[in-house]
Structure 1
Amino acid sequence: MSIEIIQASLSSTDTRILKLYNQIKVGELVLRPFFQRKLVWKKIHKYHFIETILKNYPFPEIYISTGSMDTSKLTSIDWVVDGQQRLSTIYDYISSEGDFKSQNVVKPFNELSSAEQEIFLSYKVVVRDLGKINIDTIQEIFKRINNTEYSLNTNEKMNASYHNNSFMIFCKQLVDEEIDLSQPFVQDNNITLVSLVDRKKVSNIFKKVFNDNDIRRMNDLQFIMTLVISLELGYFNRRGEIDNYLDKYNEDYPSATQIKNLLLPIIDFIERLSLNDKSYWFNKANIFTMIIELSKMDYSNINISLLKERLEYIDEENKKFNSTHTIIDEFSYGLEQYFMYAKEAVNDKKSRIIRGEIFEKILLDCYN
C-alpha cells in the first residue's frame, strides 16, 4: 500500500448544485467508485437534507478526486471520495427518482416555482478537490473522514480496504447487479465476469433474503463470500477465513469460473421451485443450507414438485413450532432440531452441519 503525504493545502471551490447535477448525469462525476459503501441514509434523512438546502442552511463540504483523464479527448472523470449520500439525494430530488418519486414530506422539485428552482439549483456546495492521487491515499482519506461521521461497520471497512481485490469483485457481482465492471483493475486483472443476466438471476434470489438495511450495510457481501468459500471448502467456523481468502486471492481467484458454473444452475433450480417470496426458505440460514447441500448432489434427479411440497409443509410446521412449540414432523426429518439451529448464527459451524444433514434427508426423500 502506497500512502502519499499531501504537501500543499487542498483548494476548495463553491460549486452550484446545477453544475454538480449535470456532471453526475453525464458521468463526469462518479458517485460510487469501488471503495465507497452502499447508500445508508433512510428516507427521513434524505427529506431532512433537502429541507436543509431549501432553507439555504449550510452542510459539510464534499471531497472529490481525479479518477481518470483522457488527454486526447480533453475530458476527465472525477470520483466522489466523501459526499455520496448528499449528492445522490440531490440528484434523486431534482430527477424525482428513488425516494422522491412519490412522497409528500418535502415539496417536489417540479412543484417549486421557477424562482424557487433557480434558488435551489444556484445553491453553492463547498467542494474540496484532492486532485490526482493514488487509490490507496484516496482510500485512507475516505476511512479517516468516516471515522468521525456515520460509523463504518466491519463489512464496509473491508470493502474500502479491498476495493480492487479479485475475490471480492467476483463475490460482489453475485449480490450487486449494478456493480461497475469497467474499472481498469477489473480489465487488467482478467477477473472472471458474471454476465448481467446471471447477476440479475442471483440478485433476484438474494433480494428475498436481505432487507434494505442488510444491503446498505453490505451484510449481503459478507454472506456471499462465506457462501462461495463454503462451496469450495465445505462448512467452516472462522470469520478469519474470509480475510485469508482476501489476502490469498488479491490478484486472481482461480476457482471463480468453477464456482460460477456450480452456483448458477443451483439458482435456476431454486427459481423453478417457485416458492413464495416470504417463504421460510428465504432466510439467511436456510438459503445458505439449501445452496450448499444442493451443490453436493445430482439434483437433476430430484422431483421438483415433491420438493416444493415438502418445503412448503416444513414452512407451515415452522409457523406452528413458533406459536405452540409443537410439531408433527410426519417424515421424521428432525425438524425441531432444524428449527432451533436455523435461528442461530449462520457462521456457527455446528449449526451449519446439523442443518445440512437434515436438509440432505429432505432432498434424498425427493429423489425420483
Structure 2
Amino acid sequence: MLVCQMLCNQIDVNLADKDNEDFKLDPNIPESFLNWARDKTNSCENIQKLLTDERIFSIREISRKVNLQYTLNIVSTYLAGFYTRNDKVDEYLLLYLEDFNMKDEIVNRFEKVAEFYLRLELDDKSMWFNKANMFSLFIALANYSELDSLDISKFSEILNQFDSLDVYDHEYMVWAKEGVNNLKERRGRHKIIMKYILNIPDIQEESFKD
C-alpha cells in the first residue's frame, strides 16, 4: 500500500512532520520505508506525474483516491497477471504487509514506462488516456522487454492510427466498451495490444501469469 501511495503521490514522504501539527506523517509508517522512499523521491517523478494526470483522473477522483485503487491494480497485475476487478489487491496487500521486496523493481520499471508514456505524441483526448486503455497499454509496456528500442514518433503514430483499424471496431471495442475490468476483457485488450501495437503475434496463456 505504501509503495502504491508513493507512486500515485498520495503520500509525501518528505513532509516535515514536526513543523506543523496539521500535516503530520502517519506515525505507523515504518522509518525504514521512509528512508527508502526518500532516497527514491527523484526516481518516481514521471510515474507520479502520470498517475495524477488530469487527462486520466479528475481532481475529484484524485481527492477520492481513485488513482490509488488504480495503482494498486496496476501493481498487482504486474506481479500476478490478469484477474477480475480488484480480486488480487487484498491478497497482495496481505502478502506484502510486512515487507515488499519487489519495491525497487516496481518503482524502477514503472518510472521507465511512465517516462516513455508521457513522451508519446498523443492528443489530450486520445483513447490512450482512457483509464481502461491506459491500464492495458501500461501493463503491456511494463512487460515488454524491448521498451528501449521503441521509437517514440513511430510508436505514437501506431497508437494514433489504432482506432482506424478493422481490429479496433471488430475486436478491441468488444473488450473496451463494457465490463472493462473483468478478466476476459482485460485479457482481450492485452492480446490485441501485443499483436497489433507491439507486434508480438502469439501470446501464450502462461504469459498472463495467472
Asked if TM exceeds 0.5, the reply is yes
Query: Which runs of 4 or more aligned residues in structure 1 lie more than 6 Å from their structure 2 counterparts after TM superposition?
Result: none
Is 1:174 the counterpart of 2:7? The answer is: yes
Query: Are 1:205 and 2:50 an aligned pair?
Result: yes
Distance 2:124 2:45 in 1: 16
Which runs of no fewer than 5 residues in structure 1 stay unpaired?
1-167, 318-328
Say which structure is richer in helix. 2
Matched residue, 1:248: 95
Map of 1:308 onto structure 2:
156
Contact 2:7 2:47 in 1 (8 A): yes
CA distance in structure 1 between the partners assigned to 2:131 and 2:10 by the alignment: 19
- Aligned residues of 2:120 and 2:152 also touching (Cα < 8 A): yes
Q: Does residue 359 of the first structure (1) align with residue 202 of the second (2)?
A: no
1:301 Cα shift? 2.3
Cα deviation, 1:25-68, whole Å, max 9, x if unaligned, reads xxxxxxxxxxxxxxxxxxxxxxxxxxxxxxxxxxxxxxxxxxxx
CA displacement, residues 277-305 of structure 1 (integer Å, 9 cap, x when unaligned): 22110011111111111122212222322
In the alignment, what sits opposite 1:223?
A: 70
Give the distance between the partners of 2:141 and 2:28, measured in 1 at CA.
Answer: 34
| 1:146-165 equivalent positions in 2, closer than 5 A | none
Q: Distance in 2 between matches of 1:218 and 1:236?
A: 21
- Which segment is superposed worse, 349-358 or 240-249? 240-249
Other-structure match for 1:273: 120
Give the TM-score, by structure 1 length. 0.46
For the Cα contact (< 8 Å) 1:228–1:259, is it kept in 2? Answer: yes
Q: 1:219 to 1:311 in 2, by over 3 A?
A: same
| Letter aligned with residue 176 of structure 1 | N
- 1:258 Cα deviation after fit: 1.2
Q: Superposition pairs for residues 1-368 of structure 1, below 5 Å?
A: 168-176=1-9, 179-180=12-13, 183=25, 184-190=27-33, 192-193=36-37, 195-206=40-51, 207=53, 208-237=55-84, 239-297=86-144, 298-315=146-163, 317=164, 329=165, 333-365=167-199
The residue identity in structure 1 corresponding to 2:126 is S
Identify if the C-alpha distance between structure 1 residues 314 and 358 changes in structure 2 by more than 3 Å, giving closer, same or farther: same
Measured after TM superposition, the shift of residue 221 of structure 1 is 0.8
- Match of 1:240, SS state, is coil
Name the CA shift for 1:343/1:193 in 2 (closer, same or farther; >3 Å): farther
Aligned partners of 1:177 and 1:199 also within 8 Å: no
- For structure 2, the 5+ residue unaligned runs are 16-24, 201-210
Deviation by residue 1:200-238 (Cα, 9 ceiling, x = unmatched): 422322312111222122111111000001111111125
Question: Does the 8 Å CA contact 2:43/2:111 hold for their aligned counterparts?
Answer: yes
- The equivalent of 2:206 in structure 1 is none
Q: Among all aligned residue pairs of Structure 1 and Structure 2, give the percentage whose two residues are the same amino acid.
A: 29
Q: Would you tell me which structure has more strand in proportion to its own residues? A: 1
Alpha carbons of 1:201 and 1:364: their partners in 2 closer, same or farther (altered >3 Å)? Answer: closer
**Do 1:237 and 1:348's aligned partners in 2 also have CA atoms closer than 8 Å?**
yes
- TM-score, with normalisation over the residues of structure 2? 0.77
Distance 1:303 1:335, change over 3 A: farther
Higher relative contact order (CA closer than 8 Å, sequence separation 6+): 2
* Preserved CA contact (<8 Å) 2:113 2:142: yes
Q: Does the residue aligned with 2:88 lie in a helix, a strand or coil? A: helix
* CA–CA distance in structure 2, aligned partners of residues 291 and 249 of structure 1: 23
- How far has the Cα of 1:177 moved from its partner? 6.0
- 1:276: Cα distance to partner? 2.1
Question: Structure 1 residue 333: deviation in Å?
Answer: 3.8
Q: Counterparts of 2:47 and 2:199 in 1: how far apart (Å)?
A: 27
